[in-house]
Amino acid sequence: MRKRDAEVTELLPDLSGRPLRAGGRLERVLRSGLFAVTAELNPLDTTDPQEIYDAALALADAVDAINTTDSSGANVHMSSLASSALLLRAGYDVVMQIGCRDRNRIALQGDLLGASALGVKNVLCITGDDVSVGDQPETKRVFDFDSMHLLRTARIMRDQGVFLSGRKISVPPALFLGAVENPFAPPLDWRAERLAKKVEAGAEFIQTQYVFDVEVFREFMARVRDLGLLGRVYILAGVGPLKSPKAAEFMRTRVPGVVIPDTVIERLKKTPRERWHGEGIQICSEIIEQVRQIEGVAGIHVMAYRQEEAVAEIVQRVGLFPRISPAEIGAG
C-alpha cells in the first residue's frame, strides 16, 4: 500500500463490531453479508397516495429497500420525505434521498430530524443535479452544502446529538447514512479517493452511477480495495435496463454522469425492435452477474426508469428472487 493510501485508510471508520445505526432491513441485510438489492421508485406527480402504493407493488418482493428520489433531474415531483412517509406506512424499508440543491443547512437538518421521526432508517446524501438540466432552469440554486458537508452534519446530529449550532437534540436521529459515487467520471484515478472522503465524512453505504462499462468499474473496485475501504463501507453497484437504442443515446448524452460504451448501444441497434425490452433486461442481467463476482460489491441498486415491472424480472433472472424474509436476518 502506498503512503498516501495508508494515510487515507487511517482516517476511516471500521464497520465490524459497530452496533446497528438504525436497524432497518437494508442495514441488516448488508451487515449479515447477504447480497442486497435496492431500486428507485420513479418520481410521481400526484397527490394520490394510491398511485405511490401501486407503483411500489412492482418492487415489493424484489428489493430490500426502495429509494425515493429528491426532485431528480432538477424537475419537480412529490417530495422524497412525503414519498418515504407513504411507503413506510405501507411497510417498506426506504432509502430517502436528500439533496443540497434546494435547501440551506437549516432546512436540511430539519428534514433529517423529521425523516427519522417518521421512521426513515436510511438516507442517501446527494449534492443534486444542477437546475440547468431540469425543466425550470431559471430556478435559484441553494447549494449551501455539498453531499460531504451533509454527511458530516447527519453524523454529528446522530452521534453527538446536537445541531450544527451546538444546540442539543433531545432524541437524536437514528440513521444509516449513504452517498453516491460515479466510478466513470474523469479523472478516473481520483474516484476511489473521493469515495474515501465520503466514508470519512460518514457514508456507510454507497450507491454508484449506472455500471455499463464493467472493466472500468472493476478497476475502480481494485483501487477501492487498495485504499483499504472494504469492510468500511458497503458498495451497491448501480444497474438498469435500457429500453431502446434511442433511450441509451439519450442517457449517455443528456443524463449527467452516465457512460454507456458504443458496444452496448450497437448491440441494441442490431436487435429487432420487438426484442429491445428483452435485450435490455438481458444486458442488465449479464452486468449484474459480472459485478457480483467483484470483491467488495455488497449489492446492486436497480434504476429502471418507468420500467418498475422489469426489476422483479431482472432480480429473478440473476437468482436474487425472492428476497430473504425479515425473520431470517433478525430483528436488529
19-50: per-residue pLDDT in tens?
A: 899 999 999 999 999 999 999 998 889 999 99
Q: Quick one: pLDDT at residue 326?
A: 65
For residue 102, the one-letter residue type is D
Element holding 216 (H helix, E strand): helix 214-226
- Position 7 scores a pLDDT of 44
What CATH number labels 3-327? 3.20.20.220
Confidence class for position 3, pLDDT limits 50, 70, 90: very low
**More confident of the two residues 327 and 145:** 145
Does the structure show a pLDDT above 80 at 87?
Answer: yes
DSSP class of residue 168 equals B
Cα distances (angstroms) measured from residue 182 to each of 107, 142, 201: 26, 23, 17
Please tell me the least confidently modeled range out of 246-255, 288-297, 319-328.
319-328
For residue 75, what pLDDT is reported? 86
Whole-model pTM above 0.75? yes
pLDDT of 127:
94
The amino acid at 3: K
Assign 327 a pLDDT band (cuts: 50, 70, 90).
Answer: low
- Residues contacting residue 307 through CB under 8 Å, at least 6 positions apart: 241, 243
Over residues 237-247, the mean pLDDT reads 96
As given in the structure block, the three cell numbers for residue 24 are 432497518
Q: CA–CA distance from 114 to each of 32, 123, 225 (Å)? A: 28, 12, 36
**pLDDT tens digits, 184-237:** 999 999 999 999 999 999 999 999 999 999 999 999 999 999 999 999 999 999
**Chain-centroid distance, C-alpha 35:** 15
Give the start-end residues of each E strand in the chain.
36-41, 65-68, 94-99, 122-126, 176-181, 205-210, 234-239, 297-302
120: Cβ contacts below 8 Å, ≥ 6 apart: 84, 88, 94, 96, 175
Q: Is the confidence at residue 10, as pLDDT, over 70? A: no
* d(C-alpha 68, C-alpha 74), whole Å: 14
pLDDT digits (tens, 9 = 90+) for 105-137: 999 999 999 999 999 999 999 998 887 888 899
**Is the separation of the CB atoms in 94 and 122 below 8 Å?**
yes
Is the CB of residue 147 less than 8 Å from the CB of residue 127? yes
60-74, 173-187, 230-244, range with the lowest pLDDT: 60-74
Residue 126: which of 158, 100, 153 has the closest Cα? 100
Main-chain phi, psi angles of 87, to 5 degrees: -70, -35
Tell me which H or E stretch contains 84: helix 80-89
pLDDT at 198: 98
Q: Are 122 and 176 in contact (CB under 8 A)?
A: yes
- Residue located via cell numbers 470519512: 200
**pLDDT recorded at residue 33:** 93
Nearest of 96, 230, 191, 220 to residue 150 by alpha carbon: 96
Q: What is the SS3 assignment for 30-79?
A: HHHCCCEEEEEECCCCCCCHHHHHHHHHCCCCCCCEEEECCCHHHCCCCC
Provide the percentage of residues in the chain whose pLDDT is more than 90: 81
Neighbours of 191 (CB within 10 A): 21
Letter string b/e over residues 34-46, b meaning 16 or more CB atoms within 10 A of that residue's CB:
bbbbbbbbbbeee
- Give the per-residue pLDDT at 199: 97
